[in-house]
Amino acid sequence: MSQVMSLVTSLVTSQVMSQVMSQVMSQVTSQMMSQVMSQVTSQMMSQMMSLVMSLVTSQVMSLVMSQVMSQVMSLVMSQMMSLVTSQTYTGPIPAERGGGLAMGGGRSETSALNRSGGGRDITQNSQGPNACCFCWCCCCSCSWNEEERRRRQRRKRISQDTKMETIPNCEPCSSAPEEEVRLWSQSFDQLMRNPAGRNVFREFLRTEYSEENMLFWLACEDLKQEVNKSSVEEKARSIYEDYISILSPKEVSLDARVREVINRKIQDPTPHAFEDAQLQIYTLMHRDSYPRFLSSSIYKSLLHGSSRTSSES
């Protein structure tokens, strides 16, 4: 009996201990797995969130930078276009002159540029605004003038071999009275209206090796008088070869925009095919050469000579 009770007790104790150990192990394992999974999940979530945030931040920054750059470029282009379109010629524009100004070959000379001015008769003092309308700046040392100076130096080197025979050396005219000569210092337009003034100014341009500017301007005036289509085409192509072509020693200084316009119009030329170029050269002579002309010995001697002749008479 004692042995039986001992055996029964042993069996019961073994089962109880087995159940207890099983429950304990189950709980311990559950807790350990829970903690491990919690840590693993936490680390994974942290890494995933970090990756997501990195991607989102990268995308957001890329989008923001794209928008900012787009806005900046749009603003810059808008400002540039506004600057380009707002630049207008503020210098004098020759008024309509009808048939009063004779040119070489018996032709009368009309306004060079009043079409560009919308039909307005504009005369401006030479001391007026100096805004530059073709080189996008307001200083006389701009790249356009620098290019003109380089061209002038090149012409000086080849001037001994080059003869400008497109137009006679001077236009037939009578000498200008003293009052007219004095007016030339007040208005470039007044100077260009008068054949005698153009002759004197052309003589000065010859000393600066830039006579081709006046020759081109006169050739454009002559072309405007032509009505015969074949003659227009012939003269237009002659002007292009003499003054527009980069191969010509008499090439005038024009910007790329005007050259592009000429290259389109020369395919089917009209009497006004070179109007934009003529205006630009007129502006160049007004801004670059005219101030030096007024200080030159040529003009001063003419002015003093006119005054002396007037006093003697």
The domain locations on the chain are 101-312
Residue that wins the pLDDT comparison between 45 and 184: 184
Q: Is the Cβ–Cβ distance between 90 and 129 less than 8 Å?
A: yes
| DSSP code for 105 | G
Residue that wins the pLDDT comparison between 81 and 55: 55
Give me the pLDDT at residue 246, please.
Answer: 92
Q: Is the Cβ–Cβ distance between 233 and 266 less than 8 Å?
A: no
CATH number among 3.20.10.10, 1.10.3720.10, 3.30.230.80, 1.10.167.10, domain 101-312: 1.10.167.10
Query: Residue 261 pLDDT more than 60?
Result: yes
Closest to 302 measured CA to CA, from 177, 126, 188, 211 = 177
Average pLDDT of 187-211? 94
Minimum mean pLDDT range among 133-142, 162-171, 200-209, 264-273: 133-142
Query: Residue 210 pLDDT more than 60?
Result: yes
Residue that wins the pLDDT comparison between 85 and 183: 183
Residue that wins the pLDDT comparison between 167 and 66: 66
Could you give the CA distance from residue 126 to residue 261 in angstroms, rounded to a whole number? 29
Closest to 269 measured CA to CA, from 244, 241, 232 = 232
A 10 A CB-CB count for 278 gives: 25
Has this prediction a pTM greater than 0.85?
Answer: no
CA dihedral angle for residue 78, residue 80, residue 85, residue 86, rounded to 10 degrees: 100
Give me the pLDDT at residue 312, please.
Answer: 55
Query: Residue 251 pLDDT more than 80?
Result: yes
